[in-house]
Amino acid sequence: MHRSQPFFKIFSCAAGIVMMMLLCSCISNVSQDPKYNYGYKYNHVYKTIDEVLLDKATSYADVFALKRMKPVDKEDRDSYLSLSSRLNVLPKGTLFKVERLTLSINPENSSLFVTVKILNGHFKGTEAVCFLTVYQYDWKKELEKWKASEKELGVVPEIPDPALVVDLGEMPEYDAPGAVIPEPDPITYRP
């Protein structure tokens, strides 16, 4: 009986390691991989053509996020003008640059996260995960492209919502020291 205990310990340790590997996700930066530049593209600058929300980091989540304004959010727009609020309105004309595409693969689901940096306005310099994406496809062609991409990539592609953002392409002139970057539509925040 004593001889089988070391085998059991080794086996249980190996099984534990395998289980941890299965439960943990694999995260990698795929910014330079052309196959993941399907929707939002690395190093491209995007301009908002409608107001969007900036969801600020909280004590339990150290991540900012760009989100669409739902109809109920538009009705409560004034409450998002206070800088002490967790959510703030970003005006039309806000520019952001895709800084990183991160692939997260795990057994439950896989995701492609788009990290952007805001280039103008009150929140200039803020990094956020961008969720300004198409959720529904009304066009058969787009649906087929989306399904083909999901099958090929193993993740749901993050496609920019044309009702919210416009791709301006690479804008190296915005990276230069002292670059003049146009400001978004004026907006007045409260303390």
pLDDT tens digit string along 84-115?
Answer: 999 999 999 999 999 999 998 876 667 889 99
Q: Which amino acid is at 52?
A: V
Residue partners of 104: CB distance under 8 A and separation at least 6: 25, 26, 27, 110, 111, 112, 113
- Please state, in angstroms and as integers, the Cα–Cα distance from residue 32 to each residue in 16, 136, 157, following that order: 34, 27, 16
- Read off the pTM: 0.78
Residue 64 burial by Cβ neighbours in a 10 Å radius (0-12, 13-18, 19+) = buried
Average pLDDT of the chain?
83
pLDDT tens digit string along 103-162?
Answer: 988 766 678 899 999 999 999 999 999 999 876 555 566 667 767 776 766 676 678 999
Instruction: Name which residue leads in pLDDT, 182 or 23.
Output: 182
3-state secondary structure of 101: strand
Assess whether pLDDT exceeds 70 at residue 25: no
Assess whether pLDDT exceeds 80 at residue 164: yes
| Domain residue ranges of the chain, discontinuous segments joined by + | 25-174
Instruction: Name which residue leads in pLDDT, 39 or 98.
Output: 98
CB 97 within 8 A of CB 44: yes
